[in-house]
Amino acid sequence: MCSEKNVAVIAAVLVALSFVAGSGFLGASTGAATSNTRDFYVSSVSFPAKMQANVQFNGVITFTNTGSLPATGVIYDFRVWDSRGVEYYRLADGTSTTLFSGENKVKLPTLDLPKAGTYRIKAEIDFYNRFGETDEENNIYETTISVV
């Protein structure tokens, strides 16, 4: 005959087996919802076609979130260096945005570069690497801009 203790043990074993079978541990798919696979990247950084020294202008960073869910509190960084490598501008630490699925445009603060020449810019999304992504290697965008 089965005692209550035996029934409890059998029930616990069945629950454990169903968990292992449904977890994908044995290679079986359960049909459950999949996780939100996401990747953030900087699609572009755009500025006016012509920028002049000592004349204010704004730029726009376009971030892309390939996931299906929004991500809040995503910290990004933006910097500008002159041709000698001297950092001219840096966005405040901890600047963040919400990235909805698809493209997201963020207006940069007003810039006023002091002299004509070539400047190097760098934009980075998920600056502190707080979000798991499918590709962590594409979070940085670098290019140069010319000021006349």
Boundaries of domain holding 118: 40-147
Helix or strand (DSSP H, E) at 143: strand 140-147
Q: Is residue 17 part of a domain?
A: no
Beta strand residue intervals within 20-59, DSSP E: 40-46
Q: Is residue 88 part of a domain?
A: yes
Domain tally, the chain: 1
Q: Is residue 14 part of a domain?
A: no
The per-residue pLDDT for 50 is 94
Q: Is residue 13 part of a domain?
A: no
Q: Is residue 132 part of a domain?
A: yes
The per-residue pLDDT for 10 is 75
Q: What is the CATH number of the domain that holds 77?
A: 2.60.40.10
Q: Which residues contact 127 (CB under 8 A, 6 or more apart)?
A: 75, 76, 77
Higher pLDDT, 15 or 41: 41
Asked whether the whole model's pTM tops 0.85, one would answer no
Helix or strand (DSSP H, E) at 99: strand 96-99
